[in-house]
């Protein structure tokens, strides 16, 4: 049996009166991948932040290769062979790839930064990982998935004994996921251990050796992957069995409500000649590989990407929004893909983030009523089943999935007619996903029109009425969900590549 690289014994952590971890015991063996699962707010990321020196633990012991450690900062953890790739990327977007790789550890020669060594090391690193990355590329020009792969390469560059991957595939294409798993398997063979935090069941069975399940800050189970199955994991996570992963899509779409004709956008990446119709009360999916133009299409519809030609009609009336404010006034809502950067105010409370898009509704005698705002935030916390201590908590104190629930609740307060949703279940656990699917279907049954982007093929097939497949910024085809399959979606996604 392999020796343990990491042992966690009796780990506990509380924030004020909220106990988020209680007596956690965990072992990770050399050359093994431990899958760590649990609902949003179960404590997965908190354990890793205690390990990584971001949080100070209240009780317990952490052993690295048998020696007690208590890192006071991420820098100290990295220098001791513990690396973590966070779900929400923290990168210097104005700087190049090579700058981000060496941030905080620039090699110096003769009193100046040795840029030649940085470039050689970066090229050698990417070659060893079989990644095609130009070290001089500015980070902000790269897609989320490309930046994610750079962050994974950075973790490898520290000669880490253990690497924590927090939802590493949430923005990767299927090809990139396959590439990531190849890298993981190569490093496993060299003795590197991984903690793999994910909500995607299929990935656990594909890449993990062992799997641990947390619920409400307690360790529920920890066993070999070969000794468990999907139903057992779901039951351990949510405390009940889910008979099926997707609710019945039993909405009945009505007449045509949105029509897009020959839409093109002004700036790179340009959308080209986009045409489609969406019915009232329909759940219309947008599928395609990362970079196909799905997010850009939603942004164009919402007034935050300039349309150069073409027309958009809503209920037979031509509309052309020059700002998100105009789109919102027309009862549009948009859940963005990257909640941290353009979906929420990180320094604001749950209440502030819930109410910010609808302030006029909370006025009393012309003055914003704190009571009305609190009532609205508490109402949406209840509707979305958001785990929090109170609505006065900072939104950044919540897990990623619970942050997403607050963002969806924010838009529900406006009661939109047209809901644009870009990866709405990204980083959300299986139980919460089901609730959001049910919410989407219920909104459609009420006559709301939903356009939803998803990179998860089972999801796009599980919750839509029709799917438009995008390829290289064009519509490659539109299919009825009940009459299509994964093979046809992939074939269409590659049509214009």
At 243, the pLDDT band (50, 70, 90 cuts) reads: low
Please tell me the predicted confidence (pLDDT) of residue 242: 61
Same fold, 4-238 and 256-493: yes
pLDDT above 80: residue 402: yes
The string of pLDDT tens digits covering residues 318-336 is 999 999 999 999 999 999 9
Q: Can you tell me the mean pLDDT for 164-186?
A: 83
Q: Can you tell me the mean pLDDT for 218-238?
A: 88
Higher-confidence position of 461 and 180? 461
Percent of the chain with pLDDT over 70: 98
Distance CA 458, CA 416 (A): 26
256-493, what's its fold?
Rossmann fold (3.40.50)
Higher-confidence position of 40 and 479? 479
Helix axes 400-412, 430-445, angle to 10 degrees: 10
4-238, what's its fold?
Rossmann fold (3.40.50)
Mean pLDDT of the chain: 90
**CA atoms in the 13 A half-sphere facing the CB of 138:** 5
C-alpha distance from residue 469 to each of 56, 145, 441, 457, 482 (Å): 46, 19, 21, 11, 15
Higher-confidence position of 172 and 457? 457
Q: Can you tell me the mean pLDDT for 478-491?
A: 93
The domain ranges of the chain are: 4-238, 256-493
pLDDT above 50: residue 18: yes
Please tell me the predicted confidence (pLDDT) of residue 241: 61
Torsion sign, CA atoms 108, 111, 112, 115:
negative
At 143, the pLDDT band (50, 70, 90 cuts) reads: confident
pLDDT above 90: residue 478: yes
Q: Which residues contact 248 (CB under 8 A, 6 or more apart)?
A: 441
Distance CA 412, CA 354 (A): 9
Please tell me the predicted confidence (pLDDT) of residue 85: 86
pLDDT above 60: residue 2: no
At 357, the pLDDT band (50, 70, 90 cuts) reads: very high
Please tell me the predicted confidence (pLDDT) of residue 240: 63
Q: Can you tell me the mean pLDDT for 333-342?
A: 85
Please tell me the predicted confidence (pLDDT) of residue 1: 42
């Amino acid at each position: 049996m392999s020796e343990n690289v990491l042992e966690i014994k009796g780990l506990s952590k509380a924030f004020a009166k909220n106990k988020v971890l209680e007596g956690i015991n965990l072992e990770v063996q050399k050359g093994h991948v431990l899958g760590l699962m649990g609902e949003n707010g179960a404590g997965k990321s908190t354990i890793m932040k205690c390990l990584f020196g971001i949080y100070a633990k209240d009780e317990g012991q952490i052993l690295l290769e048998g020696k007690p450690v208590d890192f006071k900062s991420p820098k100290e953890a990295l220098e001791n062979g513990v690396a973590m790739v966070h779900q929400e990327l923290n990168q210097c977007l104005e700087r190049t790839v090579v700058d981000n790789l060496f941030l905080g550890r620039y090699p110096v020669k003769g009193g100046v930064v040795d840029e030649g060594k940085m470039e050689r090391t970066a090229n050698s690193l990417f070659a060893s990982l079989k990644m095609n990355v130009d070290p001089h590329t500015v980070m902000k020009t790269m897609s989320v998935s490309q930046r994610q792969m750079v962050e994974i390469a950075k973790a490898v560059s520290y000669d880490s004994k253990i690497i924590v991957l927090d939802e590493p595939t949430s923005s990767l294409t299927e090809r990139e996921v396959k590439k990531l798993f190849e890298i993981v398997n190569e490093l496993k063979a060299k003795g590197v251990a991984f903690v793999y935090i994910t909500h995607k069941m299929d990935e656990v069975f594909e890449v993990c050796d062992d799997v641990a399940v947390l619920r409400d800050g307690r360790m529920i189970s920890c066993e070999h992957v070969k000794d468990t199955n999907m139903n057992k994991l779901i039951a351990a996570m949510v405390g009940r069995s889910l008979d099926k992963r997707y609710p019945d899509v039993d909405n009945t779409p009505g007449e045509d409500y949105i029509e897009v004709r020959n839409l093109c956008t002004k700036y790179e990446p340009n959308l080209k000649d986009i045409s489609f119709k969406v019915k009232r009360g329909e759940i219309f999916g947008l599928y395609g590989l990362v970079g196909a133009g799905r997010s850009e299409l939603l942004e164009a519809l919402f007034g935050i990407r300039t349309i150069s030609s073409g027309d958009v009609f809503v209920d037979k009336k031509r509309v052309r929004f020059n700002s998100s404010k105009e789109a919102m006034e027309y009862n549009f809502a948009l859940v963005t893909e990257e909640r941290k950067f353009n979906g929420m105010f990180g320094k604001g409370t749950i209440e502030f983030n819930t109410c910010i898009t609808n302030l006029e509704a909370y006025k009393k005698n012309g003055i914003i009523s704190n009571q009305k705002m609190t009532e609205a935030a508490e109402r949406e916390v209840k509707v979305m089943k958001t785990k929090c201590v109170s609505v006065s908590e900072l939104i950044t104190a919540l897990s990623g999935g619970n942050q997403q629930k607050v963002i969806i609740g924010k838009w529900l307060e406006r009661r939109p007619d047209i809901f644009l949703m870009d990866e709405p279940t990204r980083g959300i656990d299986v139980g919460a996903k089901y609730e959001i699917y049910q919410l989407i279907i219920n909104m459609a049954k009420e006559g709301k029109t939903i356009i939803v982007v998803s990179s998860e093929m089972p999801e796009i097939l599980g919750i839509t009425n029709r799917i438009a497949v995008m390829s290289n910024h064009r519509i490659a085809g539109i299919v009825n969900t009940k009459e299509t399959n994964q093979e046809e979606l992939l074939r269409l996604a590659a049509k214009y590549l």
